[in-house]
Structure 1
């Protein structure tokens, strides 16, 4: 009888569900607590980072500027205080160009100097090289700081017939002269002569003095007195 009772008791325990305890599974309380700790650590790191950044900013303001920074500031200040416009050398108020001349660049007729450097030349105005006549333009010399000086200039376009009356064609600052293609060919063959303006001595002296590069001024359609041994006659 006693054996049957124990046997029944054992059978009852066998019917109960098995309970397993996972040692790695955290309790809800412990998980919530660890999450708070992580957030707190992140906040502390952010606060430390902000304080360090503020400290470095404050220290940089207290320290004197480096020599290089001082030099840059002085150069910027000197540039901002430069209000002197460029100066034209050998300025002409009239430019004479042959009708139908090729590769004409009006900026090449003028030389402006700013602090011993060649300043930029700007030309405003329309010139019709096909039609003989006089055309007003405005010529400006502009430096790197934007200071400028300007002059009113007349461009006179002349035909070959007008050229034969003795009027002189103007030359670029390097001494070369833009011409119509046929005129240059006949000139090189000594078939015709024409009157031309000599290079301005003041401009030539300034070019040599400052070693200004004018190698790009001549083109295949320009003519220079050095290209021809025979001197054009009046």
Structure 2
């Protein structure tokens, strides 16, 4: 029982930090079409930078798929749990309906296709909207009131169906994602010719890597990670360095 309380407390701390950071993240409007990333890779550095962004994006999408698939499975397990089959009040049925809606949202999102690389803003907003579903999942848990007998029952059922282990796994995978992204950025920068390492784009990449690495909490690391993606999908131009030549 004591371990169970500690696990619930850890989840509450994580939920609070997660929602706080998400609340601080704002997404600027997409850049004008004239400022969109040019998909052509005229130099080896352009190609390497595009491959870097693709690799980091692919890793993030893999993590998002895990978050959505596993959270959907947990919600379905909660709905199928015998403890939730007993109460038949209208209020309780409405609460269960909210869980079913989440399953439908995840299923719908997973059926959508990732936009092609040429559509940079659309590609970013696809990724961003996908990440919001896990935020919805965490928010759904956070809104459960321990003093409400129905909410308490749902909360206990979530814990019985692996919520604590799932949150721990997400935290580990997110930490690993950021660490790998930082490593890939450093490898890219080391591979640049000396003159390219002095360009503004190289400094910008180095700055984002440093922010992600120095952040102490995983939620802060992920906030910097998402801002990194937002910048390079919506603001940066793949020809930015050419303007400095």
TM range (shorter): under 0.3
Normalized per residue, the structure richer in helix is 2
Structure of greater relative contact order (alpha carbons < 8 Å, 6+ residues apart): 2
Structure having the larger proportion of residues in strand: 1
Q: Which structure has the bigger radius of gyration? A: 1
